[in-house]
Structure 1
Amino acid sequence: MNLENRFLLAALKTSAAQRRELLPLAAILIAAGLAGSFLALASEVLEGETLGFDKAILLALRDPTDPANPIGPLWLEIMMKDLTALGSITNLALITAAVAGYLLVSGKRAAALLVLASVGGGTLLSNLFKHVFARPRPDFIAHAVDVYTASFPSSHAMLSAVTYLTLGALLARVEANRRSKVYVVSVAILLTVLVGCSRLYLGVHYPTDVLAGWVVGSAWAIFCWTLAAWLQRRGQIEGQRGPAES
């Protein structure tokens, strides 16, 4: 190898190392920005500044002649009820347990523990926010499904973000194939968006409830991604599968 090629190879290695150093910092800054956005939105909600916007969006999704019914055919309402079930505590717990079990049988015990801690911590955070803000549910339209807890933030939206984004990111970190990584994360984002939108359509949350759930849930997921990457570099969590293991 001539001198020029050696310099080029060294430069590429240095550039890759710098990117690895900057990525955790960028992720932390993004998570902090999302957390700040959540606090700003929460302040606006508590002051009643968002109520006009919230009501306008919810009424736009209802039949003008009968606000008790959402717009669209009956099959759409049934589909939305099925989608919203993907964000229920029961289903999210089953999915989390299934993924943790997969990691355990694959010999990735540390990754399985991190999955359980990430989703469990996000669930505790969601319950704390519900208790602190105690926002009543929308009371000017009928609810298409039964609800029993406070409205802000949407626990379905938040826990979907916490669970699906965290699981998607952690699974992507233990996959070597780039297309597999993109697919897993894309599906996680799609599921998170669909669950949140279903809550609006069914009239059980204000738009700002769902937005707040997405924001704070994403912040928590990014924090967990960053922790997973840091632990992986330290060798305390299992890394990607090599070609021989695929």
Structure 2
Amino acid sequence: MFISPTTIDENILNWVVENRSEPWISIAEVLTVLGNTVTMVALTCAVVIALAVTRHRVDAVFVGVGVLFGYALMQALKYSFARDRPPVEDRLLNIDTFSYPSGHAMMTMVVFGLFAVAAYRCSPWVRAHRWILVIAPVLSILVGLTRIQLAVHWATDVVSGWLFGAIWVLFCTWILHRYDARRGADGFAAVRH
């Protein structure tokens, strides 16, 4: 028996709306700010500047350009699909842009994922403590869940945002690896030694 994604979305939304309560609503309202455009831009600028100042210019470009084009891709997807958000009466935030994919889910996956790649390449401490890299997807997952909790996205918007974001990070990392190989300085091979 096939259950359509729309039915799954509606069932999840109904369950969330019927079961949400404090303090979880307030926690979601605070945590979701981590995925706002202003927060993402500020964090990206800080990381790009820090990488450039510490002479990791390739990684600075990798993060900056990766985030910029990731944002453009997210906007293109939103306007291509033009999906409506959940009903206004269920939403706990006032948002009127398109719903699919979740920009918060996709961009936190992109931003934190690119940060993680750059951190692995640039920091011996991070390479020695690889478990720290799990923070990137965990933060993105938490932010994405807040979008469902606040009823501003359907569940499939969020899951798709994570997937698009992860694919974009993999694509950017592949490009970076090819760049390193062409200039004869394999960044990933170099950091293993």
| Same fold per superposition (TM over 0.5) | yes
The one-letter code of the counterpart of 1:52 is: T
Residues 31, 143 of structure 2: 8 Å contact kept: yes
Residues 147, 153 of structure 2: 8 Å contact kept: yes
Residues 173, 181 of structure 1: 8 Å contact kept: no
Structure having the larger proportion of residues in helix: 2
Residues 111, 238 of structure 1: 8 Å contact kept: no
TM (normalized to structure 2)? 0.89
CA deviations 1:56-108 (Å, max 9, x no partner) are: 11111123xxxxxx5132x2211101111111111001111111011011011
Residues 156, 195 of structure 1: 8 Å contact kept: yes
Partner of 2:140: 192
The one-letter code of the counterpart of 1:49 is: S
Alignment of 1:94-105 (within 5 A): 94-105=42-53
Residues 144, 203 of structure 1: 8 Å contact kept: yes
Deviation at 1:236, TM superposition (A): 7.5
The one-letter code of the counterpart of 2:123 is: E
Residues 87, 157 of structure 1: 8 Å contact kept: yes
Tell me, in whole angstroms, the C-alpha distance in 2 between the residues paired with 1:180 and 1:85. Answer: 28
Higher-Rg structure is: 1
Tell me, in whole angstroms, the C-alpha distance in 1 between the residues paired with 2:111 and 2:25. Answer: 24
- Structure 2 unaligned segments of length 5 or more: list them: none
Cα pair distance change 1:54/1:196, threshold 3 Å:
same
Count the aligned residue pairs: 188
Deviation at 1:148, TM superposition (A): 2.3
CA deviations 1:175-200 (Å, max 9, x no partner) are: 234334431x2110111100100000
Partner of 1:37: none
Partner of 2:90: 142
CA RMSD of aligned residues (A): 2.2
Partner of 1:210: 158
Identity %: 29
Residues 175, 181 of structure 1: 8 Å contact kept: no
Q: Does 2:7 match 1:52? A: yes
Deviation at 1:228, TM superposition (A): 2.0
Residues 56, 122 of structure 2: 8 Å contact kept: no
Tell me, in whole angstroms, the C-alpha distance in 2 between the residues paired with 1:161 and 1:231. Answer: 23
Tell me, in whole angstroms, the C-alpha distance in 1 between the residues paired with 2:192 and 2:166. Answer: 29
Cα pair distance change 1:194/1:160, threshold 3 Å:
same
Q: Does 2:60 match 1:112? A: yes
Tell me, in whole angstroms, the C-alpha distance in 2 between the residues paired with 1:149 and 1:236. Answer: 45
Cα pair distance change 1:237/1:71, threshold 3 Å:
farther
